[in-house]
Amino acid sequence: MASLGIVVLLFCLGDVGGQLSDITNRSELDLEETLLRLLLRLRLEEHFDTLLIYGQECVFHTLSKRLEASTVLASSGSSDYDWNFSSSTLILSCGASAEREGNYRTLMKLQMRRRLLYLTEDIQPEEVCHNYSLKEQYNIAMVKADFVQSGSIYTCRCFQELNFEELDLFDHKPIFVEQFRNMRGATIKTLADQLAPRSMSYHDEKTGEEKMTGFVANLLNSFAQKLNARLQLTSELRSKVGILNYYGNISKWVDEDLLDIGMSLDTTWIRSNFDTMTYPYVTGSFCFMVPHPPKVPYRQIYTMIVDPLVLGIIFVLFCLFSLLLIYSQQMSWKGLTVANILLNDKSLRGLLGQSFPFPRDSSKQMKLVCFLLCFASVMMTTMYEAYLQSFFTSPPPEPLLRSFNDVQHSRYKVAISQADLKLLLASGFQGIHQLSENRTCVFEDYNEFLNLRESFNASFIFPVTNLRWHTYVEQQKFFAEPVFYFSDDICINRFFFLAVQVRRHLPYRELFEEHMLRQKEFGFLKFWIDRSFYDMVRLRLTPLKDFSSPEALWDAIFLEDISWIMSLYMVAMLLCCFCFALELWVSRFWSKWGRCRAPN
Q: Cα(525)–Cα(517) distance, rounded to whole angstroms?
A: 10
What CATH number corresponds to the domain at position 42? 3.40.50
Q: If residue 117 lies in a helix (H) or strand (E), which one and from where to where?
A: strand 114-119
Structural domain span for residue 355:
298-393
Q: Of 145, 161, 177, which one is at a domain's C-terminal end? A: 177
Do the domain assignments include residue 121? yes
The answer to whether the beta carbons of residues 450 and 247 sit under 8 Å apart is no
The answer to whether the beta carbons of residues 413 and 439 sit under 8 Å apart is yes
Nearest of 236, 473, 552, 290 to residue 399 by alpha carbon: 290
Do the domain assignments include residue 384? yes
The answer to whether the beta carbons of residues 287 and 492 sit under 8 Å apart is yes
Cβ-in-10-Å burial (0-12, 13-18, 19+) of 425 comes to: exposed
Do the domain assignments include residue 156? yes
Q: Cα(402)–Cα(487) distance, rounded to whole angstroms?
A: 8
Q: Cα(469)–Cα(462) distance, rounded to whole angstroms?
A: 11
Nearest of 477, 468, 510 to residue 214 by alpha carbon: 468
Q: For the chain, first and last CA: distance in Å?
A: 193
Nearest of 155, 163, 79 to residue 117 by alpha carbon: 155
Beta-carbon contacts of residue 297 (< 8 Å; ≥ 6 apart): 395, 561
Q: Of 150, 177, 204, which one is at a domain's C-terminal end? A: 177
Do the domain assignments include residue 505? no
Q: What is the pLDDT of residue 244?
A: 44
Do the domain assignments include residue 328? yes
Do the domain assignments include residue 536? no
Do the domain assignments include residue 549? no
Helix (H, G, I), strand (E, B) or coil at 188: strand
Q: Cα(518)–Cα(384) distance, rounded to whole angstroms?
A: 60
Q: What is the pLDDT of residue 243?
A: 46
Beta-carbon contacts of residue 35 (< 8 Å; ≥ 6 apart): 59, 60, 63, 118, 143, 147
Residue 117: what are its φ and ψ, rounded to 5°? -110, 140
Beta-carbon contacts of residue 305 (< 8 Å; ≥ 6 apart): 384, 387, 388, 391
Q: How many residues are present in the chain?
A: 600
Q: What is the pLDDT of residue 11?
A: 39
Strands (DSSP E) contained in 138-177 are 140-144, 152-156, 164-168
Q: Cα(263)–Cα(502) distance, rounded to whole angstroms?
A: 9
Number of domains forming the structure of the chain: 2
Partner residues linked to 283 by β-bridges: 497
Q: Cα(458)–Cα(449) distance, rounded to whole angstroms?
A: 14
How many helical (H) and strand (E) elements, i.e. helices and strands, does the chain have? 21, 17
Beta-carbon contacts of residue 442 (< 8 Å; ≥ 6 apart): 416, 417, 418, 421
Cis peptide before 293 (omega within 30 of 0): no
Q: What is the pLDDT of residue 596?
A: 63
Helix (H, G, I), strand (E, B) or coil at 22: helix
Nearest of 272, 252, 270 to residue 262 by alpha carbon: 252
Output the CA angle 40-43-49, nearest 5 degrees. 115
CA 28 to chain centre: 60
Q: Of 177, 198, 219, which one is at a domain's C-terminal end? A: 177
Do the domain assignments include residue 71? yes
Q: What is the pLDDT of residue 441?
A: 92
The answer to whether the beta carbons of residues 187 and 159 sit under 8 Å apart is no
> What's the average pLDDT block by block, 10 residues per block, for the chain (600 residues)?
42 40 50 90 90 90 85 86 76 91 84 91 90 91 90 90 88 89 91 88 84 94 94 71 60 89 87 87 93 85 81 88 82 77 82 78 80 87 85 84 88 90 79 79 90 93 94 93 92 90 91 94 94 92 87 69 81 88 81 61
Q: What is the pLDDT of residue 553?
A: 63
